[in-house]
Structure 1
Amino acid sequence: MKNFLLILILFFSISCANKKKNNKDELEKNKTLKASLILGERIDGPANIRDTINGKLLFELNDLTLIETTEIKNNWLEVGVFIKPTIEQAENFYILPNTKIYSKNKLIGITKDTVNFLFGAEDYAFINGFSHKNNIKSNTIPENELKSIIKKNEFSLSDFNPFIENFGFEISELGKLEDIEQYYISQSILVDISPRDRITLLFRDKMLIGFIHSRKISLEKFKTYDLVRGHKLTITSDLKDYEIKKIIESKIQVYNSID
């Protein structure tokens, strides 16, 4: 009986120690993420990247790697990453299996099969594939964070400043609107290489009046209008019909002028 109790105590001690270690590891990951700008989707990894949905494994990306993405569909999405190729890799336009992958002199993953470049040059290349949505940290998806802020009924520019800074929003000079400040992030290169926006925040008198988005953001409380080329406008304030029409017409003109 005494031996059984000793074994039981030992088991719970090890269990608690492992739990504390796992919690500590997760906290360290979160601290690392908060210490730097998010800028875009990041891997919750290590993560497998495949040639198709549920397809052949091409390469593996490390935790927190910054990636390009398409919209999530049926729990999967296309992802891509800029890398630093060797001279030989740049000449061949591919990387051989079991080769370490670097970006900006940082180890970000390893190949599991031959990986062809989507495009590249002497000093950079871009590789891509498919991954499950669970391999992306949800708080690094800008649409998720935007929706979260709005659901808290936070609409002032000061409420949005951390979001704007963390995701690298810039002031938009494209299609200026009278008395409206615009902050945007560019569309992913996997979706469109032309200079279109993924999200544009619209502020008047330092308050959010609406936003333009190219990916789905469901907010039942607010009305959304279709623009062109997949873009939509969601209004978050009491704008008059003619004001909304003016924004819609201006943005449609801008998008139609971009190749």
Structure 2
Amino acid sequence: MVVLKSAAELATMREAGRVVAQILTAVRAAAQPGATLQELDDLARELLSEKGAKSSFLHYHPSFAPIPYPAVLCLSVNDAIVHGIPDARRLDDGDLLSIDFGAHIDGYHGDSAITVGIGTVDAAAQRLSDVGKQALDAGIAAAVAGNRLGDISHAVQTVCRAAKYGMPTGYGGHGVGTAMHEDPHVPNEGRPGRGLALRPGLVLAIEPMVVESGSDRHRLLLDGWTVSTVDGSRAAHWEHTIAVTEDGPVILTAL
């Protein structure tokens, strides 16, 4: 069921989204060569506590997962597309790191992801990340009252496919509210003018995922969470939680 949010609910979600943005910014600054993924997760946990917010990810246990998610960040390096679990791995110069983070305040969630280069990355890695961000921006621009869900999906698809990148089949964005994942599913591919009508009060997480090799195939690793490319090629992931309003899309997870 799709639930439209009131102005008061959107205000609370904006508070949660601002916390998400602030912590993503701090983690991004700490993501340097030599830092471990666990250290980044520890930093995010500390900041969450300081800001009086709670993790959307920690202990989350969907039906597909063998265990509840054990961290507050999803940290996906190089060929990991999404849902990488933080561990003792140290970041190397040239790595491509996707940082996905969610938090909630008074039961209302915000969810966002960025992809960052560690140290000095090659031009191909930078282009991959840039195209993911451009696809996100295009999807957000299409989130206008009166448009359809397919207009968002088509905007994301157009940018990614024009760059000859793959997009993992079946993955996309989602509604956000009192649950981190609500209806509707927001595919990263679709036909314009089709699907759910976008109405003021609708809150969506739009999240392009792009694969450097052009392949749409993916695999689930043995940890039961990490989704990886099948050919070892790199991936990038970008996401914002946005609200559809009478005045256009509003990014709830921006600083």
TM-score normalised by the chain length of structure 2: 0.26
TM-score when scaled to structure 1?
Answer: 0.26
Of the two structures, which has the highest relative contact order with CA contacts closer than 8 Å and spacing of 6 or more? 2
Larger Rg: 1
